Chains A and B, each alone.
Chain A
């Protein structure tokens, strides 16, 4: 007898590792800015966990991914508040895509492709949008500490938008496509 909780923990751990692996591999991620901010597949495992296990799983996977980047030294922290916002917070909010997990799963069960893709898009949109807000604020905090009176709000907007907007489209495409090809990815076995 396998308890659901152990599987839940392990699955999230492995998918988080997968997220980091996808971010590290050349060809699989396109670096827009040298100091982080890449268009990559890294968010897909987080979204898959979110749609499989719901809100709790998504938030946990996101938070874990943020911390993993700090533990492996891939994180870039220049200011305490910026560090907290850019890593634990920004990736945790991705998990809010899990709010749409029940809708996605029921749409997939009923073979309602249109509704299914719509729900996935909505979930990914919510996640990426909130991640953007976190990075945006982090950017403002960061530049505020350097430059007074400059147009920092605009700068952070352009900087973070430049990689998150393409990332959004890539993730919607990839997640919908993957689930469509392999519906078993969404259904939890336990």
Chain B
């Protein structure tokens, strides 16, 4: 259960773990954007190499990454199949009505597959090496400019960290209420949808009522301790920029140059449309 809640964070001391969460977030978005600019197979291989390097660096075993891909594999294969079967062009190896297997089809299937897998792997790298609370800080930092538009970014960040903090508690509480119902003879996960619904209402109701009470108490305590919305606050966790973050940016630049290079010069003609 706890694995789910704390994001999917894997404790560790690797280079990636220590990188600034702001940088990791932006870099992951950048990488996903970059995937859409790759024009040929060698570009994808170049990015694959980079992805595997990151996976190695994270110090998390490959099986964890595979688990991340697993629930999505059917969707991916479905998309790849569509690509392969309905894309024409190049040498045609097999055809039957509108369905055909062609050179272009196989290649674009490979592109689709690579893009999907790398998006999943890269976002898994970020969530495995970054605590949820650090990601929240990163989101907060990135949205800070919106303050100028009078959007209460700080209140929002506060709410996000309170939510994160309370998810485990609420899960525990739900489990307790469910156990109490089980002790009375309720069996969960049985019967049709309507029957299951009926069993769930007595679980949800006490949760809502206790949440309301908890919110009220917490608001009281915060006010007593001097919290005022809209006032400048300091933070216990400070994000600092290090030399290693600069190194990561250099890596990203090299990566981008590589993609541009492979887009311009084709070496492995085998992989081109």
B269 on the A face (CB < 8 A): no
Query: A20-28, A108-116, A123-131: which one contacts chain B?
Result: A20-28
A16 on the B face (CB < 8 A): yes
Interface bits A1-32 vs B (CB < 8 Å: 1, else 0): 11101110111111111101110111110100
A35 vs B68: C-alpha distance when bound (angstroms):
11
Identify A34's interface contact among B74, B139, B201, CB under 8 A: B74
* Contact between chains at B211 and A18 (CB < 8 Å): yes
B7 on the A face (CB < 8 A): yes
Minimum CB distance partner of B135 in chain A: A71
* Contact between chains at B223 and A3 (CB < 8 Å): yes
Which residues of the partner chain B approach A77 to less than 8 Å between Cβ atoms?
32, 119, 123
Which residues of the partner chain A approach B27 to less than 8 Å between Cβ atoms?
none
Interface residues of A in 54-79 (CB under 8 A from B): 60, 64, 67-68, 70-74, 76-79
* Contact between chains at B74 and A9 (CB < 8 Å): no
B159 on the A face (CB < 8 A): yes
Q: What is the size, in residues, of chain B's interface with A at 8 Å between Cβ atoms?
A: 66
B164 on the A face (CB < 8 A): yes
Which residues of the partner chain A approach B200 to less than 8 Å between Cβ atoms?
28, 41, 174
Q: Is the interface of B mostly helix, strand, loop or mixed?
A: helix
Q: How far is the CB of B108 from chain A (nearest CB, A)?
A: 9
A26 vs B1: C-alpha distance when bound (angstroms):
10
* Contact between chains at A71 and B222 (CB < 8 Å): no
Nearest 5 pairs of A and B residues by beta carbon: A73-B127, A13-B162, A17-B166, A13-B159, A21-B170
| B residues in contact (CB < 8 Å) with A | 4-5, 7-8, 29, 32-33, 36, 71-72, 74-75, 79, 82-83, 86, 112, 116, 119, 123, 127, 132, 135-136, 139, 155-156, 158-160, 162-167, 170-171, 174-175, 178, 188-189, 193, 196-197, 200-201, 203-205, 207-209, 211-212, 214-216, 218-220, 222-223, 227, 229
Q: List 14 A-B contacts (CB under 8 A).
A: A10-B219, A13-B159, A16-B163, A18-B170, A22-B204, A26-B189, A30-B193, A34-B71, A35-B71, A68-B164, A77-B119, A147-B83, A174-B197, A182-B209
Known: A18-B211, A25-B171, A72-B167. 9 other contacts (CB 8 A): A6-B227, A7-B215, A11-B215, A17-B162, A60-B159, A76-B72, A77-B119, A143-B79, A182-B209
| A residues in contact (CB < 8 Å) with B | 1-3, 5-7, 9-18, 20-22, 24-28, 30, 33-35, 41, 44-45, 48, 60, 64, 67-68, 70-74, 76-80, 143, 145-147, 149-150, 166, 170, 173-174, 177-178, 181-182, 185, 189
